A and B are shown apart, each in its own frame.
Chain A
Amino acid sequence: MSTPPTNTDAAETTGHGDISTGVAAPTGSGDSNASATRITPGNALRPEDIALEVRTGLKPSEDIAEYALRLGDDALILAQRLGHWISRAPELEEDIALGNIALDQLGHARSFLSYAGGAMTNDDGSAKTEDDLAYFRREHEFRSVQLFEQPNGDFAVTIARQFIVSYYQFELYRRLTESTDGTLAAIAAKAVKEVDYHRDHSAQWILRLAGGTEESRRRMVHGLRLMWPYVEELFRDDDLTRRLAEAGAAVAPSSLREDFDRLTGELLEEAELDVPDVPAAPGGGRRGRHSEHLGYILAEMQVLAREYPGAKW
């Protein structure tokens, strides 16, 4: 779990906590396999583990891969959006909090994409990696729903998006831990613990901004109205989710709606806010139909990788 500051407790229990190691010989000692993404306490699943399993034969069905791609793209695009806040947040504590949420989402994305890639091959016959999928697909090949690509706006807009996302993802991952697909269940088991913190973070800010000043309340109301049109798309079933849900491998999006409405409704009521009464956007992200925003996100995210195709980083 990484939501309380990333490398505090974790660092002290996994071998990076020895000051003498790092300080005396910064590049010469310690665990040579260590990387910032590998500090995960306990036996939680890491993206690197999934990639390794894929290289040694783990292969999801095409349906499962497509489903993993959807969830991975959601998380990746959100991580990209949130990453922009780091060094620009209203308080240092929020630079850290939004950075942590971005890191969690990026971790989920890497796991889902590494798994999805197992069923997809490059021209040379090798399985696609997380980076093949993140950096070398075009807009229409991304499967994220449109909520995730909506611009950050001001802090209230970001919190509104985060509120919807975290309540949706919590209900999704909570159920996905029961998936008949072991890998999806394992990714969800790690993710749900982290997303629980994201819920707490966004809920607290909804209360603060709604109950703070006149200006913050006005901005919070505005933020929710801007984001709410994209709620509908999160809960839409299609042939893929119907097939997978029937087999017990995936969660039917529509089955999450009731809990989402009830729990977000309770929090909005506590904040004395109305559920925005706005028309739903048509969506289409799961079929590769995106808003104008995604092109810019990808242009920035992919520029360097595409400038040096085949390079290792």
Chain B
Amino acid sequence: MAAQNLQSVPVELSPEEEAAGKATFDRIIAEDSRIEPKDWMPPAYRKTLLRQISQHAHSEIIGMQPEANWITRAPSLKRKAILMAKVQDEAGHGLYLYSAAETLGQTRDEMMDALIAGKARYSSIFNYPALTWADMGAIGWLVDGAAICNQVPLCRASYGPYGRAMVRICKEESFHQRQGFEILLELSNGTPAQKQMAQDAVNRWYAPALMMFGPPDDDSPNSRQSMAWNIKRFSNDELRSRFVGMMVEQVRVLGLTLPDDQVRFNEDTKKWEHGPLDWHEFQEVLAGRGPCNAQRLERRREAHDDGAWVREAAAAYAAKQQAKQSMTTKEYAA
């Protein structure tokens, strides 16, 4: 794997080297500059990033499923082309992110195994079903919209490979959000049945999208450290509030409504507020008891298992080619 050349491998250091590494790390963080794979980093920083980046990669891969579900049924050829391109982008995002995570010392195979074994997490939002065509709109508008709010600040994350991967991903995500908005707009201006389909999808995806920002700040134990390390720049509630503000404006243009009559702008705090969210449901889905947890994981497992013989064949073929080549080189040398 290409990323292996960049991998940062923790090695035994003398106490002096350790202290020097830590001093450099602290200086880089204080200067708000970037840590690169071969720099010294605290084990907890490495672990946090590895967990976050691999979870993000898994989310992209599992997130392909609800939309791939509609590729074969897309109602026009243009929409089919756009949807295919979008799901394909998501596979690409997964690839960049796995590559970024590999620089921290874990292989893509190891991460994939952890996902399939149910040991790794991915964004809970993808455990909800995509039931109608309008869900392609709502996912693009709300889910990708929330993802953008979360991810734009990550372009400045202190870990270089992560920040750089996020730049590319954010470009494509903004495109995705726009296509989701466009789908909803078309439906909203369509027949009454189409408009109803759009409203129903917004109603179902609104609260799960808000919960994508993670638990409320007073219940988010890891946030403080991530912010100190310049991985995370804004708190969960701050990002959620900004997102609600954006959606309030856009839903009017759509001619639809948000299923939340408590959305308001608080003049005192200058922040957008929303109605209560069902954090019990969030915990349930996180714990594996969501509508599609088993289905999503099984599909990934099935694709992985069905493809095992193909990957083995590719590896065996590559090894044979390499052996042949080194044989030829030796013959020349002799």
Q: Which residues of A contact B (CB under 8 A)?
A: 5-7, 11, 16-17, 19, 21-23, 26-27, 30, 34-37, 47, 76, 79-80, 83-84, 86-96, 99-100, 102-103, 106-107, 109-110, 113, 130-131, 134-135, 154-155, 207-209, 211-213, 215-216, 219, 300-301, 303-305, 308, 311-313
A106 touching B80 in the complex, CB below 8 Å, given contacts A22-B171, A26-B145, A212-B316: yes
Q: Please list 27 pairs of residues, one from A and one from B, whose beta carbons are closer than 8 Å in the complex, sorted by A's number.
A: A6-B88, A6-B89, A22-B170, A23-B148, A26-B177, A35-B78, A47-B78, A79-B80, A83-B80, A87-B68, A92-B95, A92-B98, A93-B95, A94-B307, A94-B310, A95-B88, A100-B88, A155-B306, A212-B314, A212-B317, A216-B316, A301-B73, A304-B73, A305-B75, A308-B191, A311-B191, A312-B190
A17 partner residues in chain B, CB cutoff 8 A: 171
Q: Cβ of A90 and Cβ of B177 under 8 Å apart?
A: no
Q: In the complex, A95 Cα to B89 Cα: how many Å?
A: 10
- Chain A contacts of B79 at CB under 8 A? 313
Residues of A within 8 A of B310 (CB): 90-91, 94, 155, 209, 216
Contact present for B299 and A87 (CB under 8 Å): yes
A37-B85, A92-B95 are known; give 6 further A-B pairs, CB within 8 A. A7-B85, A36-B86, A95-B64, A103-B85, A106-B81, A109-B77
Contact A300 to B82, CB < 8 A, known contacts A7-B172, A207-B317: no
Q: Are B174 and A26 in contact (CB under 8 A)?
A: yes
B194 contacts chain A at the CB level, 8 A cutoff? yes
Chain B contacts to A: CB under 8 angstroms: 61, 64-65, 68, 71-82, 84-89, 91-92, 94-95, 98, 133, 145, 148, 152, 155, 167, 170-175, 177-179, 181, 183, 186-187, 190-191, 193-194, 250, 299, 302-303, 306-317, 320
Would you call A216 and B312 a contact (CB within 8 A)? yes
Give A224 Cβ to nearest chain B Cβ, in Å: 15
Of the candidates B73, B81, B95, B133, the one having the most CB atoms from chain A within 10 angstroms of its own CB is B81
Q: Say how far A266's CB is from chain B's closest CB, in angstroms.
A: 19
Q: Give chain A nearest CB distance to B85 CB in angstroms.
A: 4
Known contacts A36-B179, A313-B76; decide if A86 and B84 are in contact (CB<8 Å): yes
B163 to chain A, nearest CB (A): 12
Roughly how many angstroms separate A6 CA and B86 CA in the complex, as a whole number? Answer: 10
The chain B residue sitting closest to A113, CB to CB, is B77
User: A residues within 8 A CB of B88?
Assistant: 6, 86, 95-96, 99-100, 103
Interchain CB contact under 8 A, B68 and A86: yes
Instruction: Report yes or no: B170 in contact with A87, Cβ–Cβ below 8 A.
Output: no
Known: A6-B85, A90-B307. A96 touches B92 (CB 8 A): yes
Nearest residue (CB) in B for A39 is B85
Nearest residue, chain A, Cβ from B95: A92
Contacts of A94 in B (CB 8 A): 307, 310
B317 touches A208 (CB 8 A): yes
In this complex, which of A83, A131, A212 has the most chain B Cβ atoms within 10 angstroms of its Cβ?
A: A212
Interface of A (DSSP majority class): helix
The residue on B at minimum CB distance from A154 is B306
Majority SS of interface residues in chain B?
helix
Residues of B within 8 A of A311 (CB): 75, 190-191, 194
Q: Are A131 and B152 interface neighbours, CB within 8 A?
A: no
Of the candidates A7, A106, A216, the one whose C-beta lies within 8 Å of that of B77 is A106
Taking a contact as CB atoms closer than 8 A, the residue among A5, A27, A100, A110 that contacts B78 in the complex is: A110
- A208 partner residues in chain B, CB cutoff 8 A: 313-314, 317
Bound Cα distance from A11 to B145, whole angstroms? 20
Closest 6 CB pairs of A and B: A90-B307, A212-B313, A22-B174, A216-B313, A90-B310, A99-B88
| A5 and B85 alpha carbons, distance in the complex (Å) | 10
Given contacts A37-B81, A213-B316, contact A7 B89 (CB under 8 A): yes
Q: Is the CB of A16 within 8 A of B317?
A: no
Evaluate contact between B307 and A89: CB separation under 8 angstroms: yes
CA distance A22 to B151 in the complex (A): 13
How many angstroms from the CA of A25 to the CA of B71 in the assembled complex? 28
In the complex, what distance in Å separates the CA atom of A103 from the CA atom of B82? 9
Chain B neighbourhood of A76, CB < 8 A: 77
Determine which of A135, A213, A304 lies in contact with B133 in the assembled complex, contact meaning CB atoms within 8 Å: A304
Q: Are B72 and A301 in contact, CB atoms less than 8 angstroms apart?
A: yes
CB distance from B312 to the nearest CB of A (A): 6
Q: B178 to chain A: which residues have CB within 8 Å?
A: 22, 26-27, 30
Whether A90 contacts B95 by the Cβ 8 Å rule is no
Taking a contact as CB atoms under 8 Å apart, the answer to whether B170 and A90 are in contact is no
Residues on the B chain within 8 Å of A219, using CB: 309
A107 to B317, CA, bound (A): 33
Chain B residues in 8 Å Cβ range of A207: 317
**Contact assessment for B72 and A305 in the assembled complex, using a CB-CB cutoff below 8 Å:** no
Closest to B191 in A: A311
CB pair B299–A99 under 8 Å, yes or no, is no
